[in-house]
Amino acid sequence: MKNPAPSFASAVSDPELVGDHPALDLLNTIARVDGGLVDVWQSDEDVLRWLVRTELMEAKAASPARRGALLAAARKLREIARVLVTARKANRRLDAGPLNDFLAQAESHSELIRGKDGALSVVRRYEQTNANGVLAPLAEAVAEFLATADFHLVRRCEGEDCVLWFYDRTKAHRRRWCSMEGCGNRAKVARFRSRLSR
Summarize as ranges the residues that interact with Zn ion (CB under 5 A).
Answer: 157, 159, 162, 164, 178, 183
Nearer to Zn ion, 96 or 180 (CB): 180
Q: How far apart are CA 30 and CA 164, in angstroms?
A: 8
Q: 163: closest CA among 56, 85, 69?
A: 85
What residues contact 155, with CB distance under 8 A and at least 6 apart? 165, 166, 168, 175, 176
- Provide the pairing of β-strand 36-39 with 108-114: unpaired
Sign of CA dihedral 14, 15, 20, 25: negative
| Minimal distance, residue 164 CB to Zn ion, in Å | 5
Output 125 or 173, the one with its CB closest to Zn ion.
173
CB of 89 to Zn ion, least distance (A): 16
Q: Which of 83, 71, 5 is nearest to 38 (CA)?
A: 5
Nearer to Zn ion, 28 or 132 (CB): 28
User: To the nearest whole angstrom, how small is the minimum distance from the Cβ of residue 155 to Zn ion?
Assistant: 10
Q: How far is the CB of 1 from Zn ion (least distance, A)?
A: 19
Q: Which lies closer to Zn ion via its Cβ, residue 56 or residue 183? A: 183
